[in-house]
Each structure stands twice: as C-alpha cells, then as structure tokens.
C-alpha cells in the first residue's frame, strides 16, 4: 500500500492490471486500493489469456471469452466499469 500511496501522491492515477496477474489477486488488491476514490483513477485490465485449460471458451479474443473475463474482472475489482480493456498478447 505504501508504494501505491507514493504513486498517487506523486500524481499517478492510471492503473493497469490483468485478469491473469497473480491469478486475479492483483485485481482484488487494486479494488481495495481504489475503493475510497474510484472516480479519481483510470483503470485498465486485460483479457484473452487462458483461464481454464482445455476449454476454448476460457481463452482467446472471441466475444464469449471477453464478456466472461470482463464480468469476472469487474467482480474482482469491485467496480461497475473498466476504463480501458486491452487484449493481452
């Protein structure tokens, strides 16, 4: 949290994470960090990497995986919108 606070105090407000960083825990940590002032931050996350091996619906750039991944990220981030969604390649 100290590093995050230093970043914010220096004027930082763009936060980039991904559904697969530390198996989703980075999004959970970020949720706690931004909960007091969500509107101050621009939140980006990514999708397309494999979430479930041997299941084609859980990887790739197709709509089904994107929608599933976004919904899961929104829950982990505890937010209503993602400001920027990247394809993780």
At 21-78, the pLDDT tens digits run 898 899 999 999 999 999 999 999 999 988 899 999 999 999 999 999 999 999 999 9
Query: Quick check: is 7 catalytic?
Result: no
Say what the pLDDT of residue 44 is. Answer: 97
The pTM assigned to this predicted structure is 0.90
Question: What is the structure's pLDDT at 6?
Answer: 97
Q: Is 15 exposed, middle or buried (0-12, 13-18, 19+ CB in 10 A)?
A: buried
Distance CA 16, CA 84 (A): 9
Decide if pLDDT at 1 tops 90: no
Q: Report pLDDT for 20.
A: 87
> How high is the pLDDT of residue 24?
86
Q: Give the residue-averaged pLDDT of 5-33.
A: 94
């Amino acid at each position: 949290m100290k590093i995050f606070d230093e970043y914010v105090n220096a004027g930082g407000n763009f936060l980039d994470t991904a559904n697969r960083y530390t198996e989703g825990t980075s999004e959970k940590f970020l949720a706690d960090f931004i909960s007091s002032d969500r509107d101050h931050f621009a939140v980006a996350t990514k999708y397309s990497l494999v979430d479930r091996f041997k299941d084609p619906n859980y990887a790739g750039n197709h709509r089904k995986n994107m929608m599933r991944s976004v919904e899961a990220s929104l829950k982990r981030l505890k937010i209503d919108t993602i400001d920027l969604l990247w394809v993780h390649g």
